[in-house]
Structure formats: structure tokens, C-alpha cells
Structure 1
Amino acid sequence: MKIIDLTDDVSLKRDIEAGTEKQRESVDAIIHQVRDKGDEALRDLTEMFDGVRLDHFFVTQEEIEEAYQNIDDTVLESLRRAAGNIRSFHEKQTRQSWFTTSEDGTLLGQKITPLDSAGVYVPGGKAAYPSTIMMNVIPAQVAGVKDIVMTSPPNKEGKLAPAVLATAAELGITHILKAGGAQAVAALAYGTESVPAVDKITGPGNIFVALAKREVFGQVDIDMIAGPSEVVVLADDYARPDYIAADLLSQAEHDEMASAILVTTSQEVAKKTSIEVEKQLADLPRKEIAQASVNTHGAIYVARSLHEAIEAVNKLAPEHLEVLTERPYDVLGMIRHAGAVFLGPLSPEPIGDYFAGPNHVLPTNGTARFSSPLNVDDFTKKSSIISYSKAAFSRDADDVAAIARLEGLEAHARSIDIRKKGES
């Protein structure tokens, strides 16, 4: 990995992936096809992109039973324990409606209501991502969402991976759609003869999924426009280079666009980590992907002080931040921007990806400056409650009318005036 002195004039940011004009035009065309032709378009597009023509879009009970026969019981138990941890963490995020009353009889408050429905996109193809299902479905369930539709692209036999089906079944998801790409997003957003429209779409996908989510936002809500995965490791002399290298590669193996960065105060740690990365790459099954990621989007930055290193981390605003310093808790208060923070040598990023409980759907591309991990609040909405008493209305009426007339909205003012006369 290339080692860069932070005192140099280096850019810590990379461009946000917005897709090519051709990709955007393709996504727009797909969305219009599904919106206009419903099931027919969804069936044709699934055949075009996934190589299978489906008679039925939704997974059957027989397919669920078959999935259970093809998943190892030990793995299933691990998934159940992970789901328990994730549910326990998210249950602590729940909010209650609240109301307050004044001595004059005014009642004000906020009513918390879960969304009616949500759609969860789960990437498919050659890989299976049960963790994605848990991280998207469980907070929606904790929030109280009643109708959840999960969608994932089928293989050429028209099936989904056993781990995906078993995980969905464990969580009680009964509507599992066999569709992927922009066409699945469009079906969830606008509905078809077979697919119910939802209120919110969450879950990661390729650039076509991301562009489709961007396009349908407004028709439905979305979680975020997720970019490639990122990890930043903040380290001092205390950190072990072999641990750092392993953690950098755990992100680099995601895809060629993933970003793995070390920010350290130690030249020795920087050099040893660079050597370790090459050493560990040698027998990595996804070596070519990880190598491309490291070469294109990886770097080791050496800072003159811990303060300078922390400022660099805050500028990067990473999706995942590992703090491998001698006193990680002392650093935590200075971290302003990070999707998830992993403290100490025994808290590697994969712990958060799969098992600890906090959500792994995190802001990318520096958006941790202003956004948060997927959480229970994302599946609720808030309504303001206002009930004025006679005393409060009499006290405030003239002020309200005055402000309305200041803004040139006479009907607003008259709405107040007519009540003043009626209550006099």
C-alpha cells in the first residue's frame, strides 16, 4: 500500500459515484416500463437481466422448506443468535408518543406512528447476504411495520439462496419477491398487479439499484444512496500491523471500489502494515478484487500527531472507523464523523457486520458528516399534536393574526378573527 505523509497537500475525499449518463437513462427506462406495464415488464426484465422467466414472482412454502433442508444447523443457530443481538440493540431505540399540557389547558405533543409497509432489497447473484436481511428487517419490525416485502434477484433456476430464504423465514417474512435491479425497486415503489407498493425501500445494491432508489425517492422514502464500503483504521504505536492489515483487507475484498485506509502516527506501523497487506493478500480467495481496491482506493497516511490523525479521520467521515490506539476511549469524544466506531483490538469491523447488534447499514462517501446508521426511527413518522384551549387562543390570537398579515396571508388572519368574534 502507498504510504503518504499527511503534511503533503493530499485530498482525503473521493468522488461520489453518480453513475454514467447511459446508466441513468437505462434506469429511467426500466422504471417507466415497470410503472406502465406492471407484471409484464417485471417478468420480461427479470428474464433479460437474470436469465430466467418466472411464472410466479413470490417464493413458495415449498421453497422455504427446501431451503431449511440445505442449510447447516450450526450456521442457522449462529444466524438466530445474531438476530437476537440485533433485535435487542434496536429495541433500545424505540420512542414513545408524548404529550404535555399547560396550566391554560393547551395540549401539545408528538405522535409516533410506524410506517404501514417497507420493501427490503437484498443483493443476490452468486453470493448470499443473510446479514443484510436481518439489518433491514429487524429495525422495521421493532418499529411496528406490519407489511414487509423482501426482494432479491433469482439465479438462473429461478431460486434464491437457502441462507437467504431461511433467514427471511426465521424473521417471519412471508412476501419474498424474486426480482432484482432497478426493476425490483420500481415494482416496490409503484406496485404491480402482483407486487404491493411500499412506503419505504431500504437495502444495498449495485449502481443500478442505487440510481433507481434515487429516482423513486419522493414516490417512496429510501434509506440512503449507499456507495462502496469503507474502513478507516486510526492507529498509534500500540496497534498490531497484522490486525490492521487483516481489517483493511476485510473491506477491500467487498469490491474493487471499496476503500481501506490507515491513518497512523507511527512510521513503523505504517511500513509493517504495508508489508502485512501484501503478505495476507497472497492466499486471499478474493485476491484480485482486494488487490484492485487497495491499489486504487487504499492508502496509509502518516500524521505528525494524534490530533492531526483524528482531524484527518473526521474529514474522511468514514462508514467504519476502527480505533486501535493505546487508549481508544480517550479518542472517542474527539470523533465527530463516523458511521460506526469500533474501539480496541478485539472489536474488528466484521463483529459489527454480523453479530454485535448495531446496524451495519451505514452512511458512506463522507455522508457520516450529516447522517446516521439505519435505525428504528427510519421506519416511523412523527405527527405534531396541537389542541388549544379558549384561554390560550384568546392570549395568542392577535399575535397569530399579526404575523399572518405580515406575510400577506389575509385568509389566515381571518381564520383567527372569525373565531375571536365567535368566542366573544
Structure 2
Amino acid sequence: MTKEKVTIFWFRRDLRLDDNLGLYQALQSDFPVIPIFIFDDSILENLPRNDARVGFIYDSLAGINVTLNKIDSSLLVKKGTVMSVWESLIESYDIQEVHLNKDYEPYAIQRDHSVAALLQKNTIAFYSHKDQVIFEENEITKADGLPYTVYTPYKNKWLEKFKTLLPITAYATADYFSKFYQSNFDFPSLKNIGFEESAIKVKPHNLSQIKTYHETRDFPALNSTSYLSPHLRFGTVSVRKLAQWASKTNAVFLSELIWREFFMQILFHFPKVVTNNFKASYDGIQWRNNEEEFKKWCSGNTGYPMVDAGMRELNATGYMHNRVRMVVASFLCKHLLISWQWGEAYFAERLLDYDLSANVGNWQWAAGTGCDAAPYFRVFNPEIQLKKFDEKGIYIRKWIPEFDLGYGEPMVEHAFARDRAIATYKAGILK
């Protein structure tokens, strides 16, 4: 029996039909397009059965499938190891082309190289597209071609180049929906994939909040964040549309998108940062790494209201306000002298918007061990942070209901902890 000639588009961190470059290019091919998603066992096996991010991915895919069903097509969802899934696809179809959008993390790069090699072995054309960033790893470099390791000059070059792209044209995928493969693939249940519903949900994003971002971003009680970060992480929104909107609306918000790409290119060029300090001179720091103190930090029982409210918000919702993230991270690394790797791993388990490059980059920034990081002698005072950014205690009372009923004492005194941290860093920095 003759196998049907098809093109495959592989969804990954781009869970949308609209303005999706890889999908748009796939739909330009001469063959009907089968859209697929692979629940990768090598990633899933490390996650709890009720992981909220898996639920969000599943719901996003279900939405895509509903849209495809309206045009007599469907999404092919597979689960297994990536290579075994691709081997079975090659067995089932006469694949002519495969299109995907690039991913820049170490595991993803290795995975995609392996898939590309398999496709090449089977004489299948492989196309990789830029979709989750405005500028990828080698597009914003110093004059000598080397990557930037300081944010401000990177940002200036980024903005200079970005202006040449405006206005950015969206990729009108809907104009080519007739090119989708006519199908009615069975869409699995979440239980079929081995997961269950989580009580924690990703919130809908709110673009209107970007307008006042520069005025409200530091005040957690205002609940004025856009909730865009998980949507950007999993690609349910287009970074092109978002950057264009931000460029017209709020320069401070646009700078946050630039930080995202800065950390992405740092991870690409310096993959050691996943586990090691960017600044090797900080490798001699003698972390205390006290497990009991770490548990108190994780559960939000340090006796510092801003720290505890943030950790309780994270544990209950999968979110944490950005200003509060800086406070809790600084507290862990400086007040408790617990390695940033411990905090990074805990955030990786809990954050709905967990993104390896940003998580590692921001934790090393807080610890003072990363590129363009806060200096080691900068130690946030959680009490001053509370007075500046939650003066009326609205945020902390939301997450610490016992605050007015005899809230616990600080687990460590600030002045003592600050002096200890500075002394430890001084002694540990390798000459």
C-alpha cells in the first residue's frame, strides 16, 4: 500500500496557530501538513502527576485541536521518547518535509540534532525556523562577533536592530489552513498521557496591564501584572506581536523581553551556567546549605513577611511577583548562604513560567555569581523592601493570614546575616 506524501509540523514551545513562522512555512509546502505534538517521556518522567504546566500544555493543544476540527483536520498527539516517535512516523507516512521552530536550550539542541540526523538518513528535508525570539544567539553580538555578557550594551544593540524591523508583519497562517491534512486523529485524555488535573491554573494574560507597567511593576499588592510569562514560555502568544505592542506602549516592559533574549543567548554560548557559576572566581564560596533552613524558606516560614508571602504565593499558585522573586532569592543566597542552585531547582519545580535560561540567569544575578550580576555586597534588606513596596501590608496579609496574630520571629537577624554573607563572599572569591 502506497504511503501518502505529507509535510509534518512539530509543535513545541509555540502552542498557537496564529503568527507561527514554522507552521506558516510548513503550510507553504506542496504536501498536506500533519501537525504533531510529542509528550516527551524524558521530560515527563521527572514531573509530578499533577504538574500544572503539563495541564496548560494539554489545554492549549486541545484548543488547537478544536480549531483544526472545524476545517476537518486534527492534531496528532504522541507520547514516548522523541526518537521512537519519529521512527514510527517515518514508518507510517511518506514524509517529504519536517518543519519546526528552533529551541535554544542544551537538551533541545541535542534532541533536534538527533532528529535532524534521523530525517537526513531517510532523505527527509528538515527546516528549522526562528519563532520564539526576535533575535537569536548570533544576531546581536559585539563588533568582534563575540557574545555580549553585559546587558546594557546588548540592549542598546538589540533596540537599534529592532527599529529596522518595524512594523513587524504577522504570519497569516489562517490563509493557508486548507493545506492541513484531512484527518480525525484521536485526541488523548490527560489521563492517557499519565497525568491528572492540577488545582493550579495558568491565568489568562492581560495586555492592557503593559501600559502602566513602569509605574506598577514593583508593587505586588496591586495585582497589576500581565500574566504573560507562562504564555510567552509556551508560545501561546507571539513574541513578535508582543514586542511590537510593547514598543508602542511601554519601553520598560520591552526591556524585560530583551532581558529574556539576553539570558537565552548567554545560555546558548555558555551552557555551563546551567549548573556552574558564570563567574568562575566565585566557585570558592563556602555555602552553608543548611537543609532545615532551606525547608523554612521553601514553606514560607522564615519570619520575614516579604519572603514568606512570596514563597507561599509560589506554592499555592505557581506565580510570584517579580520584585518579590528578587527579595526571596537574595534572602536564600545572602542571608542563609544557601547555594543558588538549590533555589533555582525549587523554582524549576514550582514556577508556571519556568524557563531554564531566565531562571538560571536571574538566580545567578541574585547570588552575584552570574554575568552582569548584582555585586556580592548588595544584600536586600527584606524589611526595607516591605516598607517600600507593600507599605500597608496588603500583599503580605493576603498570604500570611496569621500576620497580625503573633507572626514568628525572623530566623536570622539582618545585620548579622549581611555581615556574614559579605565576609563569606570575600573569603571565597578566587583571586
Decide which structure has the larger Cα Rg and report it.
1
Higher relative contact order structure (alpha carbons within 8 Å, sequence separation ≥ 6): 1
1 or 2, which has the higher helix percentage? 2
The two structures have a TM-score, normalised by structure 2, of: 0.26
1 or 2, which has the higher strand percentage? 1
